[in-house]
Chain A
């Protein structure tokens, strides 16, 4: 089904500020990108008639036609590998991996080709493709549906790895990812798909930047994705106990915003890194190491990590034991060598 051009303009003329879920914000970002650039195509498993298992691509095939949003055979390496070829030939594919662990058959394509073709060809071929991966737990999903694979991707030179925690960032970051000349691993925290917030479609985003989610002076909590609301909850509780907690939404896992994070931790002198992935050899470890290297002389206490355990992701009925919660973050904050004079200040 084709939509007349005027309909698009009607859409574009709609109010740019509205409250919506993260899922709706992502859907809007895809629709706006498809409309604005004829090279943008969306494909994957079940993204067409069904609109994706999380409905992120809802209505796109209906609105823009099969050429712009289509289902593929069930084959993740095939989805990524053909997206590579399309990007080589001037298109901007935005592909969906359905669930985090389902992306693993495509890992070779992502690491060996998506990440490297620009470098291999000295920049003459770029890879402007976006790989959307619903990731993380907290939704009661069964095995292979709740993994946190961000460290694998962040470890790979050439990949930009980002994860939004608000509908606003979901919209602006996905638009920026699609516009980027470099390949972006776009991690969507499943737990936050249905969280609501205001979205201003005129706001742009510079990938590679962190965001101060809450101001505070005693300690900096660094979190990303579904852990940001948990960190904010902990900060709220801490505030009721008289402690001022700053929360930073890291949101760009690679590259990392050293500038903002370093300045923030130097100002508070204490830091806790929160992530739901296993902590061993993780993005949280990397953030912790960077903060130590850059802020050591300003620190009042060791930088602590609060992460998932080094176990395979928990079965649904045990996941609440696995996932970091506000209490675990508050315990970590309490261990940061606060003295009575700190409490008073």
Chain B
């Protein structure tokens, strides 16, 4: 009876892992220009992931949750949104954040430890990256409710992983969104693991997308390593939300190729053979094979794309190798719009400590002691 709400048994796929196109009655293949843009973003996203991981090893980033292997999801999440739309990302979605125009350096402020968020959300229409799981899904719903209240046609895309679907806030967000019929698309990147815990410990449902029907919204499954399919399925969900069709849930089946973060040892919870098997499904090689075969990509274009990605990586390196100027008064500046007398007193205390430390440094340097 509710067939239109049910996801497919097999995730939507438009380009096979060997690069051949597959026809689909419901979802159209994006056009060649669109796919070439997506391929460029995939290459840049991979380069950013690898560069950021290297910066962790060099001690320039405190931590980096890599989306290596999930770039098709990241790229599609930013490409399907219009200028007025909003993205609500998690800590693993830095590549999607940059896809919205946030500079690599600004996107890394949280992970570098300079501040809790490095960009102005309103400037790029990107909410701060959320570290607690699923909490941002509710923010996305409320944000969309406000847009609907004012009669704006903003669509909000809310990202989360498979682990987040076990949280109470995931349920509350889906339920509120459906009850209030707001223009939100929930996009779950199912990468098989919540740190070390496999999907089988998160859910007993046939798929995460199947959860949607329980809330009265459509759910769909998509091959998360096929950027063409993710663009088509997410794009359709965004268009429907914009047209007043309400919320929906898209589950991308993908895989986290690297450890959760540099602090994680993934050899303790998964076999290398399992990881290696996913190399064959890499989103970059698949799209490269398709575009090359169709003549949209040649060696020259490949070189240009690679050079562009190198430039971005160099910018990121340079930004993180230069220590940001930090102002200790910032600790007190933004706690509330109006600074309390208590915070004024505490800043005076810290200022005194800093002044005394500086005076002591100077006297030591001058050898006067």
Binding site for B on A (CB under 8 A): 41, 67, 72-73, 75, 77-78, 80-91, 93, 105, 108-109, 112-113, 116-126, 157-158, 160, 180-182, 208, 254-256, 258-259
Contacts known (A67-B149, A86-B146, A123-B333); A255 close to B342, Cβ less than 8 A: yes
| Distance to closest chain A CB from B213 (angstroms) | 17
A86 lies within 8 A of B142 (CB): yes
Q: Interface residue tally of chain B, by bracket?
A: 35 or more
Q: Which of B104-128 contact A (CB under 8 A)?
A: 115-117, 120-122, 127-128
Q: Answer whether residue B70 sits at the interface, using C-beta atoms and an 8 A cutoff.
A: no
**Bound: A123/B142 CA distance, A:** 20
Contact segment of B50-58, B173-181, B266-274, B316-324: B173-181
- The DSSP consensus for interface residues of chain A is mixed
Residues from chain A with a CB closer than 8 A to the CB of B143 are: 85-86, 88-89
Q: In the complex, what distance in Å separates the CA atom of A54 from the CA atom of B150?
A: 30
Sample 6 A-B pairs with CB under 8 A, ordered by A number: A75-B176, A82-B176, A109-B138, A116-B116, A120-B117, A255-B340
Distance from A113 Cβ to chain B, minimum over Cβ atoms (Å): 6
**Which chain A residues border B150 with CB–CB below 8 Å?**
90
The secondary structure that dominates the B interface is helix
Cα distance A82–B136 when bound, in Å? 9
With A81-B173, A108-B135 known to touch, is A118 a contact of B120 (CB < 8 Å)? no
- Chain B residues closer than 8 Å to A72, beta-carbon distance: 176, 179
* B335 on the A face (CB < 8 A): yes
Q: Can you list the 3 inter-chain pairs with the closest CB atoms, starting with the nearest?
A: A85-B142, A81-B138, A82-B142
Nearest CB of chain B from residue A117's CB, rounded to whole Å: 7
Kindly identify which residue among B137, B146, B149, B336 contacts A118, using a CB–CB cutoff of 8 Å. B336
Residues of chain B from 321 to 353 with CB closer than 8 A to chain A in the complex: 330, 333-338, 340-342
Residues of chain B with a CB closer than 8 A to A116's CB = 116
A83 touches B142 (CB 8 A): yes
Taking a contact as CB atoms closer than 8 A, the residue among B138, B176, B179, B337 that contacts A123 in the complex is B337
Q: Is B139 an interface residue (CB 8 A)?
A: yes
B217 cross-chain contacts in A, Cβ below 8 A = none
Cα distance, A61 to B152, chains bound together (Å): 23
Complex interface: chain B residues within 8 A of A254 (CB): 340
B208 within 8 A of A: no
Q: Nearest residue in B to A84 (C-beta to C-beta)?
A: B139
Asked if B120 and A182 sit within 8 Å, CB to CB, the answer is: no
Most buried by B among A78, A120, A124, A180: A78
Instruction: Give the residue name and chain of the B residue nearest to A124 (CB).
Output: B120
Q: Is the CB of A122 within 8 A of B173?
A: no
Give the CA-CA distance A9 to B179 in the complex, in Å.
Answer: 34
* B120 and A121 within 8 A (CB): yes
Cβ of B144 under 8 Å from chain A = yes
Contacts of B169 in A (CB 8 A): 77-78, 81, 108-109
Are the CB atoms of B145 and A122 closer together than 8 Å?
A: no
Q: Which residues of A contact B132 (CB under 8 A)?
A: 108, 112-113
Contacts of A125 in B (CB 8 A): 121-122, 128
Which residue in chain A gives the minimum CB-CB distance to B140?
Answer: A85
Given A75-B176, A84-B138, A122-B342 contact (CB < 8 Å): no
In this assembly, does B164 line the interface, its C-beta being within 8 Å of a C-beta of chain A?
no
Q: Give the CA-CA distance A88 to B116 in the complex, in Å.
A: 17
- Residues in A neighbouring B139, C-beta threshold 8 A: 81-82, 84-85, 88, 113
Complex CA–CA separation, A125 to B146 (angstroms): 15
Contact with A122, one of B115, B138, B149, B336 (Cβ below 8 angstroms): B115
Distance of A157 Cα from B115 Cα, bound (Å):
16
Contact A86 B145 (CB under 8 A): yes
In the assembled complex, how far is the CB of residue B144 from the closest CB belonging to chain A, in whole angstroms? Answer: 7
Residue of A nearest to B177 (CB): A82
Given contacts A89-B147, A255-B341, A258-B341, A121 and B142 within 8 Å (CB-CB)? no
Query: Known contacts A75-B175, A112-B132: does B141 contact A81 (CB below 8 Å)?
Result: yes
